Chains A and B, each alone.
Chain A
């Protein structure tokens, strides 16, 4: 894939390349040997728990933090010594940082002040940017009178009006309520497709990352532990820790003998029949997602294999019901999510039940 034909961002060269990036804050080792390529036009997410270094990495790309070691290459240019105001990146801050003493139009036009062009041209660009984020006609309003969602749109318009090579988003949705957040997720995806600019999103919300991103880098303690597309990340996590961080996974003790594995409550299966194998960083366990197994109702047949157990807990969500089932020969319950079907009763606690499952949905962590 890597041809070095001299042309920049010709599809093969990444737009951003981080090579061996280390960052120390005094004694604190915030980033450890980050190697990462981000392609032009990608919606890329940096996902991890708080303190994992994802925001520091974003600020390194923006130029707000120097690297202690390593290189940052942006659009073929080494960014060493290039300050934040000279980089082709723009940022949407977590607090939005809308200038409260300026109007909406002055906020959006702030970065245009130094650029060439007539007043009319700049005003037209500002109006265009406001229209793009759904705030057409808001230009004359005072910035301090805006709602949270509107502030975020202004922050987006203010960054996008400069047509940056990369838009950096630092937890942009964390200050919004759930409804607004889901709406903005969809709008951000739409916006990114519309402008074709590379978006890099920092988030601690795995669902948000899965919904929005083309690719996701999962970070723990200053290291990138996996880079993958959303589905691959969900289905084939690189380690037990990633699997636990992304969504819900059931873990059952497992023991490996040769090319077969014996899983508590499920029985024996061939390792090459499993979905994937990954790192455990501990005792071997088998994991599967709640939606990959099904509880069988009386009269239903199993497409694959069946285990038996007892319902220990029922959590009713309206459209879904979560059942915690203790399988025979297993100690810990597994969580099974079932879509509720009209006319089918919800099982009661204590009911004996059959669980249909498939080795093809199981990941072995060893």
Chain B
């Protein structure tokens, strides 16, 4: 009974995603059964689209910048959270983590209003990047919190006791020991930014990110199989990156000889 429920649950979650590769390799423009035969021409056509290449490049740039910034902010927040006690800490951390649960459409709308109405900035990839930092930072903080919690405070004290300064201690001891967490946070932030649609859709100017570009293709039914092919590649890429992030995190924990206390997978 319980086993049946789990299977049903997993099927409900993943069956739609499994349809992606099915139609990506289907020789026909209609997304419907029965299938017409096997082809790789959608993948071939995909590589010919210059707009798609531009959108992919935009997404990669935004994801790279957003993940690096989110992890830098996350490092500071997580270290402060784990190592120090200060008034208003719980409230501050709560606000940092809040974008995890805020409806993205609300975040996107309010950001659009602020940027266009008050700041009067043009909508560019920079505005998208800034917004993506906002939604990636909570994930980075969550992962890095676990990393800092697993780090014995005596490690840093031992380094200082042996004559190093606070700065050199951070470089020689803290950073190497939380590095697996940093890498995991980078990879997960990168994936989130790469896949994010709503905020990018609201804040993109003339340069669309990949998800926004895909959405614009939906108006042309003829191009749907190309989206299926692209989607197939994106899903595989995301799973690969997440697996890599988790593998790296666990390896780091094992190396430091500490117990696994968290993580997303």
Contact = CB atoms under 8 A, between A and B. Distances in A.
Given A144-B255, A144-B257, A97 B155 contact: yes
B163 A114 contact: yes
Contacts of A111: 162-163
Contacts of A93: 154, 157-158
B185 interface: no
B154 A97 contact: yes
A158 B154 contact: no
Contacts of B160: 64, 83-85
Nearest to A101: B176
Interface in A102-160: 110-111, 113-115, 144, 158-159
Nearest to B85: A26
A100 B157 contact: no
A220 interface: no
B163 A95 contact: no
Interface string A153-191: 000001100100000000000000000000000000000
Given A95-B152, A101-B176, A114-B164, A64 B255 contact: no
A159 B157 CA distance: 13
Nearest to B258: A100
Contacts of A86: 163
A99 B173 contact: yes
Contacts of B163: 85-86, 111, 113-115, 162
A195 B161 CA distance: 20
Contact of A85 (B155, B165, B177): B165
A110 B154 contact: no
Contacts of B152: 95, 97
A144 B162 contact: no
Contact of B177 (A62, A90, A91, A101): A101
Interface of A: 62, 64, 83-86, 89-91, 93-95, 97, 99-101, 110-111, 113-115, 144, 158-159, 162
Complex A-B, nearest 5 residue pairs according to Cβ-Cβ distance, in ascending order:
A111-B162, A97-B154, A97-B158, A93-B154, A100-B256
25 contacts: A64-B157, A84-B157, A85-B162, A85-B164, A85-B165, A86-B163, A89-B161, A93-B158, A95-B152, A97-B152, A97-B154, A99-B155, A99-B159, A99-B177, A100-B177, A100-B256, A100-B257, A110-B159, A110-B162, A110-B164, A111-B162, A113-B164, A114-B163, A159-B162, A162-B163
